[in-house]
Amino acid sequence: MLGWVRLLGAFLFLLCACQPLPEVGVEPPYAPVAHTAGVRVVVAGMRSPEGAEPYRVFLGGLEEHLGERVEAFGRRTYAEVLEVLRRGEAEMGFLCTLAAGLGVEEGFLDVVLAGETLVPYQSLIVVAEASPYRELAELRGMPFAFTDPLSNTGHAWPRLLARGLGEDFFARAFFTYSHDRALEAVLGGLAEGAAVDRVVYESLGVRGLRVVAQGPVDPPPPVVVPRDLDPKLRSRLVRALLRHGATPQGQKALRALGLRGFLPAEEEPYRAVYQRAREVLP
């Protein structure tokens, strides 16, 4: 964890100096890019590469049900994941709710399944347990950790919640590009508060933090495919995910991600989340 704390410290220093954030390379368990696999799966950075190990485990078990090699790879930002799917460089993606809604709105993504979460999917504003803050308004002008510009729980909803509290409310906010790193920023004293996904927060079981505000329950992060994906392959992917998610091995990996399994999903709820957030997006 100390390594990420030092990295986040560099983020904050550079942000305050009005310099661009440094690029963060993709590290194991994700390949930097997938070329040779029969099925390529891009995973959004809802967790850091180390914290996303359950995704790799789950997707590795998927190979048995598909009968061909599956390779998972990631990108630093949700926007980069969307671009991978837009260009057809992956057959399937595990994406966040807001970014999926953008892909649906722009017509290049289909939502095929939704994660069945163990706890409601909603935004949480967290602070250090020992801090004096009791509500969001008290964090005005304080260093604050967002996750990604296209995150519903980690950026858009907190901005909506802070409307009316002043345009400069989040003047010292910065992005960590995963929910677990946002939590570490608070624990490490780099941020006074952070906005995170409750599903990730609960599944990580991080101690030393306290919730001071929460958003509404929204549709959970979905599984998506490019809209022009071959229909037969789409059906095979959905069947394989459902079968694997019902096995003991699949269930173990899903529980580590805060999921019970997968459910049928419609696109309109995801489009609605994006449309609600448009006014606060960069």
CA end-to-end distance (rounded Å), the chain: 29
Cis-peptide, bond into residue 222, ω within 30° of zero? no
Which segments in the chain show pLDDT lower than 50?
1-30, 34
67 φ/ψ sector (left φ>0, alpha ψ -120 to 50, else beta): left
Asked whether this chain's domains 2-21+121-214 and 39-119+222-280 adopt the same fold, the reply is yes
What pLDDT does residue 17 have?
Answer: 34
Half-sphere exposure (CA, 13 Å, Cβ side) for 236?
A: 16
Closest CA to 79 of 7, 14, 151: 151
Note the pTM of the prediction, 2 decimals: 0.84
Domains of the chain by residue range: 2-21+121-214, 39-119+222-280
For domain 39-119+222-280, give the fold: D-Maltodextrin-Binding Protein; domain 2 (3.40.190)
Q: Are 214 and 220 in contact (CB under 8 A)?
A: no
What pLDDT does residue 94 have?
Answer: 94
Edge-to-edge strands of the sheet including 209-214? 173-175, 144-146, 193-197, 123-128, 209-214
Closest CA to 64 of 250, 197, 261: 250
What pLDDT does residue 193 have?
Answer: 98
For domain 2-21+121-214, give the fold: D-Maltodextrin-Binding Protein; domain 2 (3.40.190)
Q: Outline where 50-171 has alpha helix (H).
A: 53-66, 78-86, 97-105, 157-161
Q: Which helix (H) or strand (E) holds 64?
A: helix 53-66
* Digit-coded pLDDT (tens) for 40-90: 999 987 776 665 678 888 988 898 999 889 988 888 899 999 999 999 999
What pLDDT does residue 74 have?
Answer: 87
What pLDDT does residue 56 have?
Answer: 83
